[in-house]
Chain A
Amino acid sequence: MSQLTDRLERDLREIAAGAHPSPSAWESIVARLDDDAEPEVAVMLAPGPDRSKRPLWIAVAAAVLVVVLGSIAVLTRDGDDHSISTADFPNLTTTFVSPRNGFSIRHPEGAAVTPAIEDGFDVVDTGLAAVFKGTSSEFLDEPVIDERNRTVGPDEQIDDYLSDDGLFPGGCGVPRRRQASISIDGQPGRVAECPDHIEATVVVGGKLYVFTLSHDRSDARAVFDAFVATIELTPETAVHFPALTETFVSPTYGYSFRYIRQLTPATERWDPGNQPLDNIDFDPRFDAVQTGFGAYFEGASTPIPDGVSIDGWVDEYVTPLAAGGCGVPRSRQAEITIDGQSGRIAECDHVEATVVAGGRLYLFTLGHSRSDARAFFDAWIATIDLRPETAAVP
């Protein structure tokens, strides 16, 4: 325990001692129970969605959507015939492959297509009073326990997700379990229709896809069905983390990498062989990036002492459990290539990679709460440029 945390505990206890809980608090609470009794019962008998306090899984899911058109009947694929049985809607002849959301769709030639840049919708504006949108997000198709210890089923999770007007304005608001069935690329989904909007959802490969059609057409459902029939779902190609657009050149550690927002350069030197194995108090030793996407990157490097075995030294001083590492012997870790150099990588509640270049040991880690953390980590690692000759001499 450091002096800082000792002081924190001591001084916080002193501050807390300044509180003076009222001896008549119970009477005040009981009076409130009586006052609130009737409306409370109504809440208990008819619980409604609490939209002011969204469960954690909704925040984690806020990455993706796919919009298409909806239908109540079960659709079947019709081979290569994507004609629409309406007089003024052209056939769907041009293929669009979403760069981020893991699907492809056909649309009329000449439609204006706006791919999703980061999270959000791919948009196909047909110019014919019909705009299709599509997106996807990470989604575990299983019940979860929310912060109130209630079991929330997949349909209810999707309902809550879609009820966010900031993400899905103009939704139909029909509970998913009451929606009609629809087949999208052979997968069972659900579809809802309201006056100027159709929305369909399907869960495939750990992704929730959402397709919508905003329209002002009497044949909207037929148009929607035709689009849906062209969809091919490729969840393995979906990317739900942001592009790394900024470049950071470490003034200390001899590397550069790309990142997104909230970068904090190291203010202290990392010297694992001579510092306590405390992974909290010495955070200023690392260049850090708080992405805002459930992922926290850190990087640092240090000269390798003369005469040591790299694997043994890393195991003892760099990534032991006591230092917050995975504790996996480096010799048994998987291989990874970082800027052309062969390194090692381990995954536990975080991802950590080590690589040697120019007599320095580099450590890169990703703390996360993402199911696609390794892909995110690899995307970051791919931007790293090792420049050991530029590292500040310790």
Chain B
Amino acid sequence: MARVGVRGGPDPVTDDRVAQLDALYRVEYAGMVRLAYTVLASNAEAEEIVQDSFVEVYRRWPEIRKPGAYLRCTVVSRCRSALQRRKMRPPYPEELCVSASADELWDVLTRLSDEQRMAVVLRYYGGFAASEIATMLEMPAATVRSHLRRGLATLKKELAE
């Protein structure tokens, strides 16, 4: 098995892969960090998740036909895992420097189920359709729609409009 390195090894395939990853990074990195931050409200955690996801994309590159889509799925999946981990080990809360309206929204968002929270953020921040969210959350589109409906119902009830 030939060793493949990204610095010392003049491996044309790997070098090309890094170049393609670089192109993907320039387009997607900041947006993915903002998306993860909107779910987690932790800059450090969001960056870690997105960087891990880029490494995962690099590893899987030969198997991936749509790197951008795969990256989003990976980021979303890791955000879900992070939310689950928080139930076991709650993180030190970071202060949100936002308006009172956004702060109130965040408070209600954190009380939604993980699935509802992810669906709402992906729909109303990410702008993704239910079918796209379904792919990212690995659940039927009908289930995504039900999470959206229930999440919105709770938000509508809880938020002072």
Q: Which residues of A does B touch, CB under 8 Å?
A: 3-5, 7-22, 25-26, 28-30, 32-34, 36-38, 40-45, 47, 53, 55-56, 59-60, 147-150, 264, 267, 280-281, 283-284, 288, 290, 294-296, 349-350, 367-369
Contacts of B161 in A (CB 8 A): 3-4, 7
Contacts of A36 in B (CB 8 A): 55, 59
Flag whether B46 is at the interface (Cβ < 8 A): yes
B22 and A26 contacting across the interface, CB-CB below 8 Å: yes
Contact for B51 among A28, A56, A349, CB less than 8 A: A28
Roughly how many angstroms separate A8 CA and B102 CA in the complex, as a whole number?
A: 9
Flag whether B65 is at the interface (Cβ < 8 A): yes
**A42 to chain B: closest residue by CB:** B1
Flag whether B16 is at the interface (Cβ < 8 A): no
B121 and A21 contacting across the interface, CB-CB below 8 Å: no
Roughly how many angstroms separate A89 CA and B20 CA in the complex, as a whole number?
A: 65
Roughly how many angstroms separate A8 CA and B135 CA in the complex, as a whole number?
A: 22
Roughly how many angstroms separate A41 CA and B3 CA in the complex, as a whole number?
A: 8
Knowing A4-B159, A148-B70 touch, does A18 contact B142 (C-beta < 8 A)?
Answer: no
Knowing A45-B1, A283-B152 touch, does A11 contact B102 (C-beta < 8 A)?
Answer: yes
Roughly how many angstroms separate A37 CA and B6 CA in the complex, as a whole number?
A: 7
Residue of B7, B36, B58, B124 with highest tally of chain A CB at under 10 A: B124
A15 and B62 contacting across the interface, CB-CB below 8 Å: no
A29 and B55 contacting across the interface, CB-CB below 8 Å: yes
Contact for B63 among A4, A12, A22, A148, CB less than 8 A: A148
Contacts of A56 in B (CB 8 A): 138-140
A12 and B59 contacting across the interface, CB-CB below 8 Å: no
Roughly how many angstroms separate A8 CA and B151 CA in the complex, as a whole number?
A: 12
Could you tell me which residues of chain B, from 78 to 128, have a CB within 8 Å of some CB in chain A? Answer: 96-99, 101-102, 105-106, 120-121, 124-125
B152 and A18 contacting across the interface, CB-CB below 8 Å: no
A283 and B150 contacting across the interface, CB-CB below 8 Å: yes
What is the predominant secondary structure among interface residues of chain B facing chain A?
Answer: helix
In the assembled complex, the CB of A277 is this many whole angstroms from the nearest CB of chain B, namely: 15
Knowing A59-B138, A290-B146 touch, does A44 contact B3 (C-beta < 8 A)?
Answer: no
Knowing A15-B96, A367-B145 touch, does A21 contact B51 (C-beta < 8 A)?
Answer: no
Contacts of B101 in A (CB 8 A): 7, 10-11
In the assembled complex, the CB of A241 is this many whole angstroms from the nearest CB of chain B, namely: 14
**A12 to chain B: closest residue by CB:** B125
**B156 to chain A: closest residue by CB:** A4
In the assembled complex, the CB of B76 is this many whole angstroms from the nearest CB of chain A, namely: 11
A280 and B152 contacting across the interface, CB-CB below 8 Å: yes
Roughly how many angstroms separate A283 CA and B116 CA in the complex, as a whole number?
A: 14
Roughly how many angstroms separate A108 CA and B90 CA in the complex, as a whole number?
A: 57
In the assembled complex, the CB of A250 is this many whole angstroms from the nearest CB of chain B, namely: 18
Residue of B4, B29, B62, B143 with highest tally of chain A CB at under 10 A: B143
Contacts of A47 in B (CB 8 A): 63
Knowing A44-B59, A56-B139, A367-B145 touch, does A11 contact B66 (C-beta < 8 A)?
Answer: no
10 A-B pairs with least C-beta separation = A369-B140, A19-B37, A283-B149, A12-B125, A367-B142, A11-B102, A16-B34, A8-B124, A21-B33, A11-B105
B124 and A296 contacting across the interface, CB-CB below 8 Å: no
B102 and A296 contacting across the interface, CB-CB below 8 Å: no
**A295 to chain B: closest residue by CB:** B142
A33 and B55 contacting across the interface, CB-CB below 8 Å: yes
In the assembled complex, the CB of B21 is this many whole angstroms from the nearest CB of chain A, namely: 8
B140 and A15 contacting across the interface, CB-CB below 8 Å: no
B6 and A30 contacting across the interface, CB-CB below 8 Å: yes
A15 and B98 contacting across the interface, CB-CB below 8 Å: yes
B6 and A33 contacting across the interface, CB-CB below 8 Å: yes
Contact for A29 among B5, B54, B146, B157, CB less than 8 A: B54
Roughly how many angstroms separate A7 CA and B104 CA in the complex, as a whole number?
A: 11
Contacts of B133 in A (CB 8 A): none
